[in-house]
Amino acid sequence: MIYESSILAVTIFLAFVGFTLGLSFWLGGKAKSSEGYFAAHGQIPWFVNGIAFAGDYLSAASFLGICGMIAFYGYDGFLYSIGYLAGWIVALFVVAEPMKRLGRFTFADALDSQFNSKGIKLAAGISTLVVSVFYLIPQMVGAGALVTPLLGFPQWVGVVMVGAVVILIVVTAGMLSTTWVQFLKGALLVVFSAILTWMILQRGFKVEKGGNDGHEFQTFRITTDDLTNGDGKVGSLEKVDVVPADNGWEKFDKKYVRLQNRETQLITVWMMKELTEKDGPNLELTEVQTLSKAKDGTIFVNGQKKGDKKGEPELFAVGHVVELPDGKTETGPLSAIDFFRTLQQSKVVLWRNEKVVHADKTETTVYYPKITTGAEVLRPGEHPTFKGIRSEKMFDKVNFLSLMLALFCGTASLPHILIRYYTVKDASSARKSTIVGITSIGLFYVLTLYLGLGAMTSGTLDVSEENMAAPLLAKGMNTWLFAAISAIAFTTVLGTVSGLILAAAGAVTHDLLGSAFGVKMTDTEKVRVAKMSSVVVGAIAIVLGILFQKMNPTFLVGWAFSVAASANLPSLVMILFWPKVTKQGIVAAIVVGMVSSMTWILLSGEAYSKVYGLDAAAAIVPFSQPGILTIPLGFLTLVVVSLLTTGRQQTAA
Amino acid sequence: MNSRNSRNGLILFAVYLLFYGGFVFINAFDPASMERTPIAGLNLAVLYGFGLIIGAVVLSAIYGVLCGDASGNSSASDQQEPKA
């Protein structure tokens, strides 16, 4: 689609971002010491910290990735909402209070509280860095996805903008300003998502023939003879010839037919479906959309060079209902329950895609419609990530179980969440702020299902950009709302990225340089080193955000959760509940959990197909999500190594 | 950690773990049952999914109430404890 910026949207957006930055700088001036920079002097009120948890957690992955996945595949995106929230139960019931009691700046402090070991600081510091960088990638990808429809810039510009602004925030401010900004954004994101949900319910459902750009997708019936008799007439199309299926299309000669207009020479692609009726037409042709990139970089949509202004060739907007219960054409406003009940009995058009590879190695992506019943939309197991639910293969099921385990265990192991326990004054405040966080995050996740399904039926979707479903939904409703939602989501990305970079900078300064390598630093030097680390981590995040821009942020977050849970959770839990833990056990568990989960991910089918562009079937490991093996492996390593080294530690003591 | 809070936390954690585990295992091994519509025309996937989110909020509130009496002690002991 063509994204043109609106002056109103940009003005609101810039005003909001400007206010956020101003607040950051003003508060940043109040936190000059390392205690203030990393932990806001531990003086943040628990309610504010709780909403800031929501600001930290409801990131690009939550808002853009989940809504996009639901808009394109239905219920499956909601499985992430469920898993992400369930993880907070581990954080509240198991980790929150002891983390606050044992630590000071970083979670390495908590692990090391009994041992004073350089090894633990080193391992935990590296783990924090790795998990932060893994988690930063989807945030940057999401930032790029937000900027494109709002400002009309290419995605990479969005990534660079976010990176630059975040580095500015972190270098000039610190945890105090990050917390207040997160409080503001977390609250506004939940409130505006609720407003958008209310508007979706007021709109209800309406039967349409295409998206909100006015294009009606055509379907007509023909006989096989119409394709071969050469009279130039195919269904409702005049003066067209069938183009022979060659140059990669021969692989799809039973599925697609290409028709060329004799006057304009324009080639359009149609999906063929054989009909079972004995008399009359035996084929149904349905209009599809195509996107291809020539060797010289020129992009073609539906056979024409893609334009860059409204009215010029672009992909058509999609996402519509084709059938409502009882033959209705419109429902009018719906209640929160009737929304699902009506959709359950309706039919909607979802879009799937496949690639045609040509002789010169260029590709054409074909986007084709798939009429889907509401019952299928509202059941899990349609997205490739969750195919294990409907698969008969045991490894596919294990992959699903593994992902849900990683989501459950990952939240309580994320460094930027863990450091937020040090911004409140005591364990009781840590607990209360977690409860506030769970309530606000839970409310938001309930709304994600309405937002995603609302986008699915909004007629605003871009078939080539799943991540833009939520902003485009808002844009379809109201320009003001779009500007407000985009600005909040964008600044939420800024805040989440700031938190992650702060966690990484804390790990470098406090755990690695200060403790593991014994570098003596004054308070001012610590803050300076942390700021320098922030610039480096921010630059790495910008590069990775551009490299991974086509991947769904939620999917990438799944990987980050697996690494966090495998590397950090075994040590965090065991140090609280098992008195025989040794420092060697902790170091071994972190290293084994981190290395095994990362290695598994890099050798998985998902990485083969989505990162290296290779055949997923050639992958070395049998399923993609490592958590089900690597989390227990972390626990096992900790227990075995601790038992083997208990005697040594006692002797040494 | 205050031992009563810890015990309450672990009990509530176990309750939620069962609830969550049930959802995941039904999806994995009996996905067809998620399509049934037992109440108000809503399918089990939507009902159970919302149940898990609302359940987490309710359990966390219960935990907050259960710890309420102990919070004063907990705060006091926290403040006296030397930082690591």
CATH of the domain at A100: 1.20.1730.10
pTM of this structure: 0.87
pLDDT of residue A22: 81
Contact B46 A103 (CB under 8 A): no
Q: Which of A197, A402, A431, A433 to mutate to test the interface with B (most CBs of B within 10 A)?
A: A431
Which of A:94-133 have CB within 8 Å of B? 94, 97-98, 100-104, 109-110, 112-113
Which of A:56-75 have CB within 8 Å of B? 75
Spatial contact of B32 and A389, defined as CB atoms under 8 Å apart: no
Q: Is A543 on the interface with B (CB under 8 A)?
A: no
Query: How many CB atoms are located within 10 Å of the residue A442 CB?
Result: 23
What residue has token string 């300003």? A177
Of A390, A397, A428, the CB nearest to B75: A428
Contact A98 B1 (CB under 8 A): yes
Point out the least confidently predicted range of A122-126, A142-146, A320-324: A142-146
Answer yes or no: is A165 within a domain: yes
Summary mean pLDDT of chain A: 85
Residue type, A590: I
Residues A470 and A377 in one domain: no
Residue ranges covered by each domain of chain B: 30-69
Query: How many CB atoms are located within 10 Å of the residue B4 CB?
Result: 14
Contact B75 A381 (CB under 8 A): no
Arithmetic mean of pLDDT, A112-119: 82
Arithmetic mean of pLDDT, A262-266: 90
Q: Which residues in chain A are closer than 8 Å to B69, comparing Cβ atoms? A: none
Contact B60 A86 (CB under 8 A): no
Q: Which of A340, A355, A387 is the last residue of a domain?
A: A387
More confident residue, A165 or A603: A603
Q: Which of A355, A370, A387 is the last residue of a domain?
A: A387
- Min Cα–Cα distance to chain B from A428, Å: 6
Residues A323 and A396 in one domain: no
Percent of chain A clearing pLDDT 70 (strictly above): 93
Of A75, A100, A432, the CB nearest to B64: A432
Q: Which of A92, A424, A577 to mutate to test the interface with B (most CBs of B within 10 A)?
A: A92
Which of A:377-396 have CB within 8 Å of B? 378-381, 388-390
Q: Is B74 on the interface with A (CB under 8 A)?
A: yes
Helix (H, G, I), strand (E, B) or coil at A219: strand
pLDDT score of A4 more than 80 = no
Regions of chain B where pLDDT drops below 70:
1-2, 69-84
Residues A503 and A394 in one domain: yes
pLDDT of residue A652: 40
Residues 6+ apart with CB under 8 A from A209: A216, A217, A320, A322
Residues A556 and A435 in one domain: yes
Answer yes or no: is A31 within a domain: no
How far is the C-alpha of A639 from the C-alpha of A585, rounded, in Å? Answer: 7
Residues A406 and A360 in one domain: no
pLDDT of residue A173: 65
Q: Is B46 on the interface with A (CB under 8 A)?
A: yes
Answer yes or no: is A14 within a domain: no
pLDDT of residue A325: 94
SS3 content of chain B, % helix, strand, coil (to 5): 80, 0, 15
Q: Cα–Cα–Cα angle for A543, A548, A554, nearest 5°?
A: 125
Arithmetic mean of pLDDT, A443-449: 94
- The alpha carbon of residue A31 and the mean position of all alpha carbons in its chain are separated, in whole angstroms, by 32
Token pair recorded at residue A614: 């290779």
How would residue A457 be classed by pLDDT, with cut points 50, 70 and 90?
A: very high
Answer yes or no: is A46 within a domain: yes
- Min Cα–Cα distance to chain B from A401, Å: 7
Point out the least confidently predicted range of A278-292, A334-348, A416-430: A416-430
Token pair recorded at residue A624: 């993609």
* Residues, chain B: 84
Residues A379 and A401 in one domain: no
- Min Cα–Cα distance to chain A from B80, Å: 10
Token pair recorded at residue A463: 């078939």
Contact B60 A388 (CB under 8 A): no
Answer yes or no: is A34 within a domain: no
Answer yes or no: is A25 within a domain: no
Residues A368 and A445 in one domain: no
Helix (H, G, I), strand (E, B) or coil at A41: helix
Q: Which of A342, A369, A387 is the last residue of a domain?
A: A387
Reported as type and span, the H/E element at residue A320 is strand A320-323
Point out the least confidently predicted range of A179-188, A213-222, A623-632: A179-188
CA distances from A435 to A196, A455, B54 (A): 25, 30, 13
pLDDT score of A188 more than 60 = yes
- Look up residue A62 and give its DSSP letter: I
Token pair recorded at residue A186: 């977390």
Our count of domains for chain A comes to 2
Point out the least confidently predicted range of A355-364, A371-380, A629-638: A355-364
pLDDT of residue A490: 75
Q: Mark out the alpha helices in A348-426 (DSSP H runs).
A: 374-377, 394-410, 415-418
Arithmetic mean of pLDDT, A401-427: 83
Contact A341 B27 (CB under 8 A): no
CA distances from A61 to A89, A615, A635, A651 (A): 20, 26, 28, 49
Interface A-B: count of C-beta contacts within 8 A = 152
How far is the C-alpha of A127 from the C-alpha of A508, rounded, in Å? Answer: 11
Q: Is B61 on the interface with A (CB under 8 A)?
A: yes
Residues A79 and A106 in one domain: yes
Question: Which residues pair with residue B41 across a beta bridge?
Answer: none
pLDDT of residue B77: 38
Residues A399 and A355 in one domain: no
Residues 6+ apart with CB under 8 A from B71: A428, A431, A432
pLDDT score of A60 more than 70 = no
Arithmetic mean of pLDDT, A327-350: 95
Of B31, B61, B79, the CB nearest to A380: B31
Arithmetic mean of pLDDT, A347-374: 93
How would residue A77 be classed by pLDDT, with cut points 50, 70 and 90?
A: very high
Dihedral (CA of A25, A31, A37, A38) sign: negative
Residues A247 and A345 in one domain: yes
- The alpha carbon of residue A402 and the mean position of all alpha carbons in its chain are separated, in whole angstroms, by 18
pLDDT score of A470 more than 90 = no
Residues A551 and A515 in one domain: yes
Spatial contact of A42 and A352, defined as CB atoms under 8 Å apart: no
Point out the least confidently predicted range of A229-243, A514-528, A596-610: A514-528
Residue type, A586: I
Q: Is B60 on the interface with A (CB under 8 A)?
A: yes
pLDDT in tens, A61-76: 677 889 999 999 999 9
- Min Cα–Cα distance to chain B from A390, Å: 7
Residue A479 belongs to domain spanning: 39-205+388-652
pLDDT of residue A152: 72
Contact A381 B31 (CB under 8 A): yes
Point out the least confidently predicted range of A533-542, A643-652, B69-78: B69-78
Answer yes or no: is A577 within a domain: yes
Of B9, B28, B54, the CB nearest to A397: B28
Dihedral (CA of A445, A450, A455, A456) sign: positive
Residues A223 and A371 in one domain: yes
Spatial contact of A649 and A592, defined as CB atoms under 8 Å apart: no
How would residue A32 be classed by pLDDT, with cut points 50, 70 and 90?
A: low
Q: Which of A397, A438, A631 to mutate to test the interface with B (most CBs of B within 10 A)?
A: A438
pLDDT score of A558 more than 50 = yes
pLDDT of residue A28: 67
